[in-house]
Amino acid sequence: MVTILHASDVHFGPPYNEVAGEAFQAVARTVAPDLIVVSGDFTQRAKVGEFEAARAWLDRLPRAPLVVTPGNHDVPLYRVWERLFDPYRNYRTWISPELDSVTRIPGLVVVALNSTAPLRAIVQGRIDPAQVAFAARVFQDAAPADARIVVAHHHFAPAPDYEGDKAMPGAREVLDALSTAGVELILGGHLHRAYIGNSLDVHPGTDREHGIVIVQSGTTSSRRGRARERAKNSFNVIRLAEDHVEITHFMYFSDVGGFAPFSTHAFPRRKYGYFPRDPFQHPLLLWRRDEPAPQGARRGAHA
C-alpha cells in the first residue's frame, strides 16, 4: 500500500493560520507518507518573505518525495511587470525550479502540471494540449500496474455546492484525454473546500469509461475556507491498495486541538492488466503524436 499526504492552499502571508499549519506538521509525522503533494498557493501575494516562510515549512515535513505545483497566488497579481516578464521567479527560487514535473516511486507515476496562466486566466487557470501530450508520453512509459496520477492547482470539476465556481476552460477535453491515457487520480486545490468524487459525476462518459477520481483539498492552513468549509482547514490522506483507493478527508477541530478524520471515500482501482488506449488518438492530441516533448518538460523527473 502507498500512502500519499495531500495538502493545498497553505497561503503564507496575512491569511496564514499558524495553529493549523503546525497541526498539519504534527499529523504529517504520524502518517509517515510515502509521498507528499502540495497542490499550489504556497503564498498570498508571491512575495519573497512569504516564499521563504513556505520553504521553511516544507523543509520541516517528513522526509519523503515531494510533489509541488504553483497556484495562482504564487504568481504576482499587482506587480504587473513581474507577472508579464518573470512571473515564476520567486516560485522557482524558493519552491521548485520546475513547473511541469514527473515523480516516480514504486507503484505509481505522478505528473504535476502547471495550471496557472499569468497572461490569460490567472484565476480560472488553464492546461494546454502540449502539457497533456507531455503527460500522455510519460504515462505511456509507465508499467501497466502503476497508478497514474496528475497534480494541478486548478479544479477540473466544480465542488457540489452553489458557489458557482466554474472549472478550468477546456477541463472536459483534458479529462477525456487523461482518462484515455489511463489516469486514475487527479489531485488539486484552489476551491478552499474539499471535493472527492469521480469525473463521471460531472462529465458523463461512455459505458467503457471508468472516469478519474478527483481529489480536491481544502485550504490546509489559511483563514479563508469557503462555502461548507468556511473558516475551516483540511487536507487528505490517500491510500492506494492493489484493488482500491481510499481517501480520508481530515478537518481541523478546535475542540480536539488538531486535525481529525471527517470522512472516508473508497473507489475501485482500474484492474491490473488494464492497458490504456492510445491517448494520441484523442482529438485534443491527434496532431501532436510526432511532436517532441515541450522544452524542459521532463524537468524534475525522479528515477
pLDDT single digits (tens) 137-176? 999 999 989 999 999 999 998 877 766 667 888 899 999 9
Full set of structural domains in the chain with CATH: 2-288 (3.60.21.10)
Average pLDDT, the chain: 88
274: its cell numbers: 488494464
By the 10 Å C-beta count (0-12 exposed, 13-18 middle, 19+ buried), 128 is classed as: middle
pLDDT tens digit string along 62-106? 999 999 999 999 999 777 767 777 899 999 999 999 999 999 999
pTM above 0.75, yes or no: yes
Mean pLDDT check: name the lowest of 91-95, 118-122, 192-196. 118-122
Closest CA to 202 of 153, 245, 159, 238: 159
Contact 84, 115 (CB under 8 A): no
- Three-state DSSP at 172 gives helix
Statement: residue 273 has pLDDT above 50: no
b/e map 90-114, b = 16+ CB within 10 Å: bbeebbbebbbbbbbbeebbbbbbb
Report the alpha-carbon distance of residue 91 to residue 43 in Å, rounded. 9
**Per-residue pLDDT, 57:** 99
Question: 255-259: long-range contacts at Cβ-Cβ below 8 A with a sequence spacing of 24 or more?
Answer: 257/23, 258/23, 258/26, 258/27, 259/20, 259/23, 259/24, 259/27, 259/233, 259/234, 259/235
Statement: residue 186 has pLDDT above 80: yes
**Per-residue pLDDT, 271:** 65
**Per-residue pLDDT, 293:** 52
Statement: residue 56 has pLDDT above 90: yes
Statement: residue 228 has pLDDT above 50: yes
219: its cell numbers: 485550504
